[in-house]
Amino acid sequence: MSEDDFNARTIAEFRANHGQVGGGFAGAPLLLLHTVGARSGEPRVNPAMYLKDGERYLVFASKAGADSNPAWYHNLKAHPDARIEVGDETVDVHAEEITGPDRDRLYQRQASLYPGFADYQSETTRTIPVVALTARGA
């Protein structure tokens, strides 16, 4: 199954089940990230695991440990105002990358909750970005 097919199925299941999906995401906190393509300008939607941090939603540009960042990361860098779906709620957000010791602490927290994230970081030489999504107007 292609990544596009996987994403389309996950998105449909998310919306049909109030933000809950099965498979590899079963029981995991998942949101749908709406971005604008960095080069194309086209709207994009990607499922992503998140970690709630106060009022922020943290997403991790792991791309399952690949040596390149996912397209949605580049989209957020180019167009940081985005939208997320969490459960049945839609929230307009602003994206900001977290770096340095704060990034390390938050990534470690995610990896301790979901050990696959530790594996992803060990599989690549890049530092996996952590992006905070904060409600606009909050």
Residue range 63-90, pLDDT digits in tens: 999 999 999 999 999 999 999 999 999 9
Q: Where do the structural domains in the chain lie, given as residue ranges?
A: 3-135
Superfamily of domain 3-135: Electron Transport, Fmn-binding Protein; Chain A (2.30.110.10)
pTM: 0.93
What is the arithmetic mean of pLDDT over 125-135? 97
Residue 7: predicted pLDDT: 86
List all residues 6 or more positions away from 80 whose beta carbon is below 8 Å from its beta carbon. Answer: 94, 95, 96
Q: What would the pLDDT profile of 30-42 be if each residue is shown by its tens digit?
A: 999 999 999 999 9
Residue 138 in this model has a pLDDT that exceeds 80: no
Report the alpha-carbon distance of residue 134 to residue 132 in Å, rounded. Answer: 6
Average pLDDT value for residue range 113-137:
95
